[in-house]
Structure 1
Amino acid sequence: MTQLSVLDLVPVREGGTVSEAMQAAADLAKAAERFGYKRFWVAEHHAMEGIAGGATSVVLAHIGNATSTIRIGSGGIMLPNHTPFQIAEQFGTLDALFPGRIDLGLGRAPGAGPELQRALRKNLHQAAEMFPQDVLELRALITGDVDLPISATPGRGAQVEFWMLGSSLFGAQLAARLGMPYAFAAHFAPDHLDTALALYRRDFEPSEALDKPHVMVAMNIFAAETDAAAELLATSQQQSFVRLRSGNPGKLPPPIEGYRDTLPAPAQAMLDHLGQAAAVGSPASVRAKVKAFIERTGADEIIAAGATYDPEARIRSLELTAEALGL
């Protein structure tokens, strides 16, 4: 059976605060644990007023304290923004606090303009070129399988599960070469989905951590009692996508009836394109769409994205999805 997990960006809604977003994330994680989801991941984004997960390891500590069994992790840490040693310490600390529950998903895209580069005191494009070496160094700092001149404490010996994230062929190739599980971000970048998964499976080299390919794919899932109700819920995230692609990001807006009909053709086409990795509708509709997506991708796991303006609606969406798919 394909397992289900949750991806959360810790959205800050219009009229809301960061503190409220943090509490909503904890409530969502507790609900996901109760409904039988396997993982709860938080993604690293910076300098975006509508996303509060920038200090990802700190947010994960908050989530860990609110839960007891669900795996928690990064989806992902953008390693070029950091040093391997810092991340080894942070995730070693998380493992010490929440033993056997920590996932470390790693991404390469710096996703930053010159202002963020200056703020982080990093040449992020140069750091991105070092990504494969930094992944190896980070893994060695935690596993101790390579003798390094410095030891991360906390860090060394931590039972952290490493994941490679990606939305292009680069991450698929690296995950295959290093024998890591691979998570593809189809929820916002589906273009290379089929090619990347085929390449990963074809070129996979077994490692001590993983003996065969393991794929997780992200998709947007909005479930409600009716198709119309779910489509309305989804308009908050749709508005955020359109604003982001238009260079005008902001806080998560409330849903709008008939939103798509107000958009110009290019914006509608963009949402249609993203819709190939989405399941929006009643439980029966969501079940059919998720099963079709699993059949297409052969995914071992699906991780559900999908921010809603009302946090309770996201919890209800996870509950309906879990019931529809037999968790």
Structure 2
Amino acid sequence: MKQLKDIPISVLDLAPIIQGGTAADSFHNSLDLARHAEAWGYHRYWLAEHHNMPGIASSATSLVIGHIAAGTKSIRVGSGGIMLPNHAPLVIAEQFGTLESLYPGRIDLGLGRAPGSDQPAARALRRGLGSDGSDFPEQLSELRAYFDPDGAGSRPPGVRAVPGEGLNVPIWLLGSSGFSARLAGQLGLPFAFASHFAPEYVLPALHLYRSNFQPSEALDKPHVMIGLGITAADTVEEARRLATSQQQQFLNIIRGRSGMLQPPVDSMDGLWSVQERAILLEKQHYSIAGDKAAVTARLQQILEETEADEWIIASQIYDHKARLHSYELVAEAILNS
């Protein structure tokens, strides 16, 4: 049976812009967190592509990845993920070829097929591309061909990615349903599942991935990374209070709104309806708020359920020092278990 201490841990940074803060503050805090995460033994530091969201600063994801990689020494840095239908595959191959050339052996390319935005922004992003995400497998094939010197059949004749061609940039597929799970299995690619906002599909998606897995040059056996929302503090009460910032963010999503990350509150009562509370708590089935002992116990349960190979942890915490402490406690809970 897998042990917690044997599971690599990584950071999923949504580069939160807090109420009263700026994107510049967010980038400063992200680099500070990445440097601490590197020292605490985290394996990867991923950033996510989101658009038209006042509370998330990582819209130009490749640029922020470069910022983090330049300020750290050894931690792997990548995307969790790049929403491929928003881009021409050649551009992504060139961007990540550039990153890999600058920071060799440290760059990951995680890919999703959702827009990472609302519908107006999706239309603005995909103008002229004619893509609704349904051609994701074809786009993925083209992208992979740009890295492969022998993959000319899947890319336009005479077109090469420079830099990019011949470089080893590990590609991950990201998902919150079965589509990417099945595709990742068929292609023999590593798979990361967004358990922190689609908990109801975790086990079915992992079954699809593992049952469809075909060994490849990238992998000889399935490899799953599970995304978790974790808020850790010295006491369970303080962790639950800090977690109300993330709950308010989820509540805005349920209501079709967006905004900056809000300060924590002593109670969510009065902010949500009974129905909204039920929906939110269901969505947070794989989210954890507690002290080190509570985090360790729940992670052990999730490990037994999912047989995860890696964790990637998102912590939407308003106060930067509290956010740092949360990631430190998680590292201690896992690496010292």
Shift of 1:276: 1.4
Amino acid at match of 2:61: T
1:319–1:325 Cα change, 3 Å: same
Distance 1:160 1:37 in 2: 19
What is the TM-score normalised by the length of structure 2? Answer: 0.94
What is the TM-score normalised by the length of structure 1? Answer: 0.97
Aligned residue in 1 for 2:3: none
Q: Is 1:110–1:125's contact at 8 Å kept on the other side of the alignment?
A: no
**5 Å matches for 1:190-205?**
190-205=199-214
Distance 1:123 1:271 in 2: 36
1:232 maps to 2:237: no
Shift of 1:35: 0.4
Aligned residue in 1 for 2:113: 108
Amino acid at match of 2:223: H
1:173 alignment partner, one of 177, 182, 207: 182
**How large is the RMSD of aligned CA atoms in angstroms?**
1.4
**5 Å matches for 1:136-215?**
136-147=141-152, 148=155, 149-215=158-224
Distance 2:126 2:272 in 1: 39
Instruction: Specify the SS of the correspondent of 2:199.
Output: coil
Instruction: Specify the SS of the correspondent of 1:192.
Output: helix
Distance 1:236 1:140 in 2: 42
Q: 171-180 or 125-134: which moved more?
A: 125-134
Deviations 1:134-172 (A, max 9, x none): 101101101223124211111112221110000000010
1:30 maps to 2:35: yes
1:39 maps to 2:44: yes
Amino acid at match of 1:234: A
Q: Is 2:49–2:116's contact at 8 Å kept on the other side of the alignment?
A: no
Deviations 1:211-230 (A, max 9, x none): 10000010111110000010
**5 Å matches for 1:275-286?**
275-286=284-295
2:256 alignment partner, one of 241, 247, 263: 247
Shift of 1:258: 1.2
**Sequence identity percentage:** 50
Deviations 1:250-293 (A, max 9, x none): 00000000125642111111221122111210000000011111
Q: Is 1:260–1:268's contact at 8 Å kept on the other side of the alignment?
A: no
Amino acid at match of 1:13: I
Aligned residue in 1 for 2:137: 132
1:123–1:108 Cα change, 3 Å: farther
Distance 1:40 1:326 in 2: 17
Instruction: Specify the SS of the correspondent of 1:216.
Output: strand
Q: Which runs of 5+ in 1 are unaligned?
A: none
Matched residues, number: 327
